[in-house]
Chain A
Amino acid sequence: MTGQTPLLAVEKVETFYGNIRALNGVDVSVNQGEIVALIGANGAGKSTLMMTICGAPHARAGRITFDGTDITAMPTHEIARLRIAQSPEGRRIFPRMSVRENLQMGASLDNMQYFDQDVEKVFALFPRLKERIDQRGGTLSGGEQQMLSIGRALMARPKLLLLDEPSLGLAPLIVKQIFDAIRELNRTEGLTVFLVEQNAFGALKLAHRGYVMVNGAVTMSGSGRDLLANPEVRAAYLEGGRH
């Protein structure tokens, strides 16, 4: 991947909540067509990095570029319009909207032009959503909400898909289904994915490359396979059960 400008480049980014520094000079890059995983313990700043990429909150120092555009200080909705779609921490389904409306919210960037064809793709990935189409988002189970959150992000036809803990709270079978879906989208459509995971084993197996984050800074990076084999990573994130 040398010589190529990455699709997403995060350089020396610092993010604060009030006076508390959550990100401490983070460097991460994601190339076109890659799946990149970010692993780390609770509170390491993984979700903060995801939200900082989307400008909510904005980075106080450093630089974020996407597709050659500096997006560091860009308003969140304009970043979204550059086709960075996120399935955020906590899923953030609109609780008083139906599944259909939630998906429509994802498709509103194109004024619903591609809604009918894209919704079929999402249903093919997550048939459960089709059964629930008129049900209110707030009444779905956690797993269904997770599928809806990912589906809603896909409806935006993203160039870069950010997934924050796609496996959280899901049954192992569904986790596998979701990871398979991500791999499939990456292979067939060249979708670029940047995902945050607690499930380090699954994520590193899925990803081409990975980063390890500790206390708001990236401490290790490498190919998914290398990180899986790394004794430090194994000790900290993998031993004690492949979740």
Chain B
Amino acid sequence: MQYFIQQLINGLTLGSIYGLIAIGYTMVYGIIGMINFAHGDIFMIGAFTALIVFLILSAIFYSVPVVVALLIMMVVAMIMTSLYNWTIEKVAYRPLRGSFRLAPLITAIGMSIALSNFVQVTQGPRNKPIPPLVTDVYNVYGISISLKQIVIAVVTIVLLTLFWYLVNKTSLGRAQRACEQDRKMAALLGVDVDRTISITFIMGASLAAVAGTLFLMYYGVVAFSDGFVPGVKAFTAAVLGGIGSIPGAVLGGLLIGLIESLWSAYFSIDYKDVAAFSILAIVLIFLPSGLLGRPEVEKV
């Protein structure tokens, strides 16, 4: 039982990171109907930015409180990834918006390769470690919970609450949802659709940057290729939860995290990815639009 709960906690931690990345996939899909395959690499760039900021901070100051350091890492990473994602949308996706559906998809894969190679060339191909930032581990009834995990949980919850408020209660969020449901009508009501799409990319990138910072803090290491696997997992999470649905992305992320850690704990760690993707396949057979996705047909 203790072992199970332990794995549950590990799974939820991992799942939070996937969930934060998955929101970026699902929002972009919701608003322009494309899969932004470069999103995983945006996450990786977020982690790298956090690493560089950490190195700069520790070079300048003798010691910085961990909370302050993490906060600065996160904010700078958010700004950097936002710039990247905003530019990518403007340069690579917007000119293709009216073209056939495969064109932006292929471009996104190209952007993904370009970004990871860019980081490989500029930062080197090796794993980049940082010293452990947060080391405390608490023991509760035989279950060990690390402070890192608590930080991840708290940051995720705070961020998701803010984000939920932004999407559901502000005029910006309303404009976003309007563009998602009927772009032409939104424009007829005075919504600047291009600007709204740009903001969506910026929001997705910011969440990915936070996920990247948390990833770096949790594992203490990042490499140029780290965008790919978490990216694919988060994409799987978005599809599992129902692509286009924001609560679905979070739910899917948590589920993928749980499946991975429980499978590794009880079966074989080598097959954890197989398990995650198999569950996806099985769910999609019975619920083609994902767990919380909406069916395609709507009453007119």
* Residues A56 and B190 in contact, CB atoms below 8 Å apart: no
Q: Which of the residues A80, A85, A156 comes within 8 Å of B187, measured between beta carbons?
A: A80
* Residues A77 and B171 in contact, CB atoms below 8 Å apart: no
* Residues A112 and B188 in contact, CB atoms below 8 Å apart: no
CB nearest to A140 among chain B residues: B299
Give the chain A neighbours of B299 by CB distance below 8 A.
95, 138-139
Q: Which of the residues A56, A96, A97, A101 comes within 8 Å of B188, measured between beta carbons?
A: A56
* Residues B188 and A76 in contact, CB atoms below 8 Å apart: yes
CB nearest to A136 among chain B residues: B299
Give the chain B neighbours of A111 by CB distance below 8 A.
171
Give the chain B neighbours of A76 by CB distance below 8 A.
184, 187-188
Task: State in angstroms the CA–CA spacing of A40 and B188 once bound together.
Answer: 24
Query: Shortest distance in angstroms between A3's beta carbon and chain B's nearest beta carbon?
Result: 32
Mark out the residues of chain A between 88 and 112 whose CB falls within 8 Å of any chain B CB in the assembled complex: 88, 92, 94-97, 101, 104-106, 108-109, 111-112
Query: Shortest distance in angstroms between A133's beta carbon and chain B's nearest beta carbon?
Result: 16
Give the chain A neighbours of B174 by CB distance below 8 A.
97, 101, 104-105, 108
* Residues B190 and A156 in contact, CB atoms below 8 Å apart: yes
- A209 part of interface (Cβ distance < 8 Å): no
Give the chain A neighbours of B186 by CB distance below 8 A.
105
Query: Shortest distance in angstroms between A71's beta carbon and chain B's nearest beta carbon?
Result: 13
* Residues B193 and A94 in contact, CB atoms below 8 Å apart: no
Contact with B along A154-183 (1 / 0, CB 8 A): 001000000000000000000000000000
* Residues A108 and B184 in contact, CB atoms below 8 Å apart: no
Please, how many residues of chain A have a CB less than 8 angstroms from a CB on the other chain? Answer: 27
- B88 part of interface (Cβ distance < 8 Å): no
Query: Shortest distance in angstroms between A222's beta carbon and chain B's nearest beta carbon?
Result: 30
- A13 part of interface (Cβ distance < 8 Å): no
Q: Which of the residues B171, B177, B187, B294 comes within 8 Å of A94, measured between beta carbons?
A: B177
Please, how many residues of chain B have a CB less than 8 angstroms from a CB on the other chain? Answer: 20
Task: State in angstroms the CA–CA spacing of A97 and B185 once bound together.
Answer: 13
- A152 part of interface (Cβ distance < 8 Å): yes
Give the chain A neighbours of B294 by CB distance below 8 A.
96
Q: Which of the residues B178, B184, B192, B193 comes within 8 Å of A105, measured between beta carbons?
A: B178
* Residues B193 and A96 in contact, CB atoms below 8 Å apart: no
CB nearest to A112 among chain B residues: B171
Task: State in angstroms the CA–CA spacing of A80 and B175 once bound together.
Answer: 14
Give the chain A neighbours of B192 by CB distance below 8 A.
75, 77
Give the chain A neighbours of B178 by CB distance below 8 A.
94, 97, 105
- A198 part of interface (Cβ distance < 8 Å): no
Mark out the residues of chain B between 225 and 274 whose CB falls within 8 Å of any chain A CB in the assembled complex: none
- B191 part of interface (Cβ distance < 8 Å): yes
Task: State in angstroms the CA–CA spacing of A16 and B190 once bound together.
Answer: 23
Task: State in angstroms the CA–CA spacing of A121 and B191 once bound together.
Answer: 23
Mark out the residues of chain B between 185 and 202 whose CB falls within 8 Å of any chain A CB in the assembled complex: 185-193
- Pairs A–B under 8 Å by Cβ, sample size 23: A56-B187, A76-B187, A77-B187, A77-B190, A77-B192, A81-B190, A88-B185, A92-B182, A92-B185, A94-B178, A97-B177, A101-B174, A104-B171, A105-B178, A105-B191, A106-B189, A108-B171, A108-B174, A108-B175, A111-B171, A112-B171, A156-B189, A156-B190
Residues of B participating in the A interface, judged by any CB pair closer than 8 Å = 171, 174-175, 177-178, 181-182, 184-193, 294, 298-299
The 7 closest A-B CB pairs, nearest first, are A80-B190, A76-B187, A92-B185, A94-B181, A77-B192, A109-B190, A77-B187
